[in-house]
Amino acid sequence: MNDIRRTILWVIFGFSIILLWDNWQVHNGKQATFFPAPPTASSTAASASPAAATASNASPSSSSGPSNPSSVPTASSASSAGVGMAAVPGQATAPAAPAAKPRERLEVTTDVYRLVFDSEGGSLVQAELLQHADIADRTRNFVLFDESAQRVYMAQTGLIGGDFATHKTPMTVAPGARSLAEGENELKIRFESAVVGGLQLLKTWTLKRGAYDMALTHEIRNTSSAPLTPQLYLQLLRDGNKPAGESSFYSTFTGPAVFTQEKKYQKVEFKDIESGKAEYAKDSGDGYVAMVQHYFASAWLLPEGTKREMFMRKVDSNLYSVGMITPLGSIAPGASQTLEARLFAGPQIETSLETLAPGLELVKDYGWLTILAKPLYWLLDQLHKMLGNWGWAIVGLVLLLKIAFYWLNAKAYASMAKMKAINPKVMEMRERLKDNPQQMQQEMMRIYREEKVNPMGGCFPIMVQIPVFIALYWVLLSSVEMRNAPWIGWIHDLSTPDPLFILPLLMTLSSLLQTALNPAPPDPMQAKMMWLMPLIFSVMFFFFPAGLVLYWLTNNVLSIAQQWIINTRMGVPPQFNLPKFK
């Protein structure tokens, strides 16, 4: 039965590894290895071609979204303007109005951003986060939005439903400040289009001090002699590449996501968009669309109650868009319509995301363990506020979890101590009856009964704690607060591997010490596995973020201390069982 207990513990350990591996596969954009999801239904039919589309094809009630997401409005396709892709050399663009100024890039600075806007469409084409260093080169700031040879990632808006201004339409920039001055809390950047199709589009970006969300007010003026019914689209355009510096030992999700109160949070893989298997909410009166990557995200937000249609498209060989279309209603001649949207573009700080929009904090994805991970993050955040250091907050959190699970662990270690105390008697009996397996099993059951030992007593407490510690693993892996956060001495960044490998070495030694404190299995093969598994498992931690290794090391040290104390109290002095590989 002692062997059975060890076997069950190894099964639990192996199952935990399977769950981690399965989540790794999913986050890598691959089909789950052990728990594959059922095939999703094909998405709606492909959009109509530019030549065949009409203004009515772009109606939000259409399940296929914009008339053609990859088309670019030109003079010859005025009636089929759709949501298009970023400017590509050699690609046609909308004809400029005679009074339009030459295309320009406008650099704007606040206390948290250095932004670049394009006068073509008034789009946001670069966002440098001044308070977040680049992991690969800490002398540079992290760049989220970008339009370069290495990356395409930008925010665009425009009008459809007719030959109206889109994100390809030249716009003029109103004069004004280009940086947030000392003592000022707000900065406005205004773009104006010429009259296109009877409508003039005016965009006003409003940036606020300390904020990673920006308001974008769309004012649409009808200068024609007839009522017009345009629709506004907002989209995020991104290439399908993983962020630079992604670890090969763990991976997090990169791609678009949709949230509605009805369907909740839905991630979509780029490959599913390409294959037409993307499954997500299409129509809603609430929610948002987002582009998500490790630690950072962007999202378009509309006022609650505003009707919206979500769409996702592949617009080029490696470009994808996710966005929303919202009707503006009929605009009478000489009248105007205004709609304000908000764009979030920044770090996934959970406490800040919760205040911006319902469900926005879910872009920081904990997967199926969200119900456990969210309170763990809250507790970690409270400890950081008290201790002022994320590394010590991790140590404190593991200590609190050990205290919370003390009685469960005490029962497990007590059961193991009893097993260890009777182990010599069991070993002698096994040797004596090794040629009679049936009698050996009966004799073993008799010993357990007389000694009042339950060989399964150490399993249940461990099973209860496994989901909690896996949830904590995802909290530490997902929290942007760990980026560039120091602990002590040589640990300057808890989100990157230990540069001196001291923490992984200590974690390996602690794992081996735990193994040595347990009774040695009588089977030589089991004995080898008991020593090899911690070594194999520890190899990964040499490449894991230091924060994760610190959490695991702290857990090991506290477990050893608790096991030592309980064994001593029960009269079973700690004994190191070194491996005997014969």
- DSSP string for residues in 37-94: PPPPPP-PPPPPPTTT--GGGG-TTSTT-SS-TT----GGGGGG--------TT---P
Tell me, yes or no, if the pTM score tops 0.85.
Answer: no
Q: Are residues 355 and 385 in the same domain?
A: no
Inside any domain, residue 71:
no
d(CA 159, CA 122): 13
Q: What is the CA radius of gyration of the chain?
A: 30
> Which of these three, 334, 363, 392, is where a domain ends?
363
Cα separation of 292 and 296, whole Å? 6
Residue 94 in domain: no
The residue among 347, 326, 333 whose CA lies nearest residue 157 is 326
Strands (E), 196-349: 199-208, 213-222, 231-239, 255-260, 264-267, 283-284, 288-293, 296-301, 308-316, 319-327, 336-347
> Helices (H) and strands (E) in the chain — how many of each?
11, 18
**Number of structural domains, the chain?**
2
Q: Is residue 16 part of a domain?
A: yes
Q: Among 70, 66, 65, which residue's Cα sits nearest to residue 281?
A: 65
β-pair partners for 201: 220
Residue 403 and residue 332 in one domain: no
CA distance 85 to 120: 13
Q: How far is CA 287 from CA 133, 159, 360, 363, in A?
A: 31, 20, 9, 12
Answer whether 291's CB lies under 8 Å from 144's CB.
Answer: no
3-state SS class at 508: helix
Domain boundary among 363, 386, 408: 363
Same domain, 358 and 388: no
Scan for tokens 């046609």, then name that residue.
Answer: 92
Q: Examine the domain organization and report whether 355 and 393 are in the same domain.
A: no
Single-letter residue type at 20: L
Amino acid 398: pLDDT: 94
**Contact (CB, 8 A) for 111 and 209:** yes
Residue type, 70: S
CA dist 232 and 121 (Å) reads 13
**pLDDT in the model for residue 463:** 74
Question: Is 50 within the bounds of a domain?
Answer: no
Considering the domain architecture, whether residues 284 and 384 belong to the same structural domain is answered as no
- 297/365 Cα distance (integer angstroms): 11
For the chain, 582 residues long, the average pLDDT of each consecutive 10-residue run is 46 55 51 42 30 32 36 31 38 42 91 97 98 88 94 97 96 95 95 97 98 98 97 97 77 92 95 93 96 97 96 94 97 97 97 94 89 94 96 96 82 68 73 77 77 62 78 91 94 93 92 76 64 78 90 91 78 64 50
What CA–CA distance (Å, rounded) separates 487 from 113? 27
Report the C-alpha gap between 249 and 220 in whole angstroms: 50
Same domain, 129 and 223: yes
The CB density around residue 382, as the number of other CB atoms within 10 Å, is 13
Same domain, 494 and 388: yes
Return the beta strands (E) in 329-425 as ranges. 336-347
What tokens were used for 158? Answer: 């425009």
436 and 394, same domain (yes or no): yes
- 357 and 392 in one domain? no
Predicted pLDDT at 72: 34
* Cα angle: 149, vertex 155, 160; to 5 degrees: 120
Answer whether residue 49 is part of any domain: no
Integer Cα distance of 403 and 398 in angstroms: 9
CA atoms within 13 A on the CB side of 93: 15
User: Does 327 lie in the same domain as 407?
Assistant: no
CATH number for the domain that contains residue 132: 2.70.98.90
| Ramachandran quadrant class, 329 (left: phi over 0; alpha: psi -120 to 50; beta: rest) | left
The token pair that represents 262 in the structure block = 């009805």
Own/partner pairs, 495-501, CB within 8 angstroms, 24+ separation: 495/135, 495/295, 495/545, 495/546, 495/547, 496/135, 496/545, 496/546, 497/542, 497/543, 497/544, 497/545, 497/546, 498/546, 498/549, 501/542
CA distances (Å), origin 297, targets 344, 473, 494, 511: 8, 20, 20, 37
Q: Are 358 and 476 contained in the same domain?
A: no
- 167 inside domain: yes
Look at residue 225 and give its three-state secondary structure. coil
Q: Which of 341, 363, 385 is the last residue before a domain boundary?
A: 363
pLDDT value, residue 578: 62
CA 375, CA 370: separation in Å to the nearest integer? Answer: 9
> What integer pLDDT is reported at residue 462 of this predicted model?
67
Residues of the domain holding 456: 2-28+377-569
Q: Specify whether the CB–CB gap between 351 and 279 falls below 8 A.
A: no
Q: Does the residue 76 lie in any domain?
A: no
* 92 belongs to a structural domain: no
Q: Are residues 182 and 217 in the same domain?
A: yes
User: What is the C-alpha separation between 545 and 493, in angstroms, rounded?
Assistant: 8
Length of the chain: 582
